[in-house]
Structure 1
Amino acid sequence: MMRKTILSICAVLLIAGCANTQPRFDTSGVTTGVTPQGVAADTIAQAPEVLWGGVIVNSSNLTDATQLEVLAYPLDDRQRPNTALSPIGRFLAVAPGYLETADYTQGRLITIRGRLQDRAEGRIGEARYAYPVIEILDSQLWQREDHSRSYSQPRVNFGIGVMIGR
Structure 2
Amino acid sequence: MVFRPFVVIAGVCALLIAGCASGPGFSGDHINKRLDPADVLADVDGAMDETVVWGGRIIQAEPKADSTTLEILAFPLYRSQQPDAGKDSLGRFLVIYPGYLEPQDYSTGRMVTAVGRLEEIRLGQVGKADYRYPVLRGDDLYLWPPADEAREPRVHFGVGVGIFR
TM-score, reference length from structure 2? 0.74
Per the alignment, residue 161 of structure 1 pairs with none
2: distance between equivalents of 1:43 and 1:115?
A: 13
2: distance between equivalents of 1:40 and 1:60?
A: 23
CA RMSD of aligned residues (A): 2.8
Q: Is the 8 A contact 1:38 1:44 kept in 2?
A: no
2: distance between equivalents of 1:27 and 1:72?
A: 21
* 1:55 and 2:62 correspond: no
* 1:70 and 2:72 correspond: yes
| Residue ranges of structure 2 left out of the alignment (5+ in a row) | 1-11, 150-154
Q: Which moved more, 1:35-44 or 1:76-85?
A: 35-44
Per the alignment, residue 24 of structure 1 pairs with 25
Partner amino acid, structure 1, of 2:112: I
Deviations 1:116-138 (A, max 9, x none): 11010000001101100001101
2: distance between equivalents of 1:106 and 1:44?
A: 31
2: distance between equivalents of 1:96 and 1:64?
A: 6
Q: Secondary structure at the match of 1:130?
A: strand
Partner amino acid, structure 1, of 2:125: R
Per the alignment, residue 94 of structure 1 pairs with 96
Q: Is the 8 A contact 1:75 1:81 kept in 2?
A: yes
1: distance between equivalents of 2:59 and 2:82?
A: 16
Q: 1:113 to 1:67 in 2, by over 3 A?
A: same
Partner amino acid, structure 2, of 1:55: R
2: distance between equivalents of 1:33 and 1:74?
A: 10
* 1:138 and 2:140 correspond: yes
Deviations 1:103-150 (A, max 9, x none): 100000000011111010000001101100001101100001228xxx
* 1:85 and 2:119 correspond: no
Partner amino acid, structure 2, of 1:99: L
State the shift of 1:75 in Å: 0.3
2: distance between equivalents of 1:135 and 1:51?
A: 11
Q: 1:95 to 1:117 in 2, by over 3 A?
A: same
Per the alignment, residue 4 of structure 2 pairs with none
1: distance between equivalents of 2:43 and 2:129?
A: 18
More helix by share: 2
Q: Number of residues paired by the alignment? A: 140
State the shift of 1:74 in Å: 0.4
State the shift of 1:43 in Å: 6.4
Per the alignment, residue 121 of structure 1 pairs with 123
Per the alignment, residue 37 of structure 2 pairs with 36
2: distance between equivalents of 1:92 and 1:112?
A: 10
Q: Secondary structure at the match of 1:155?
A: strand
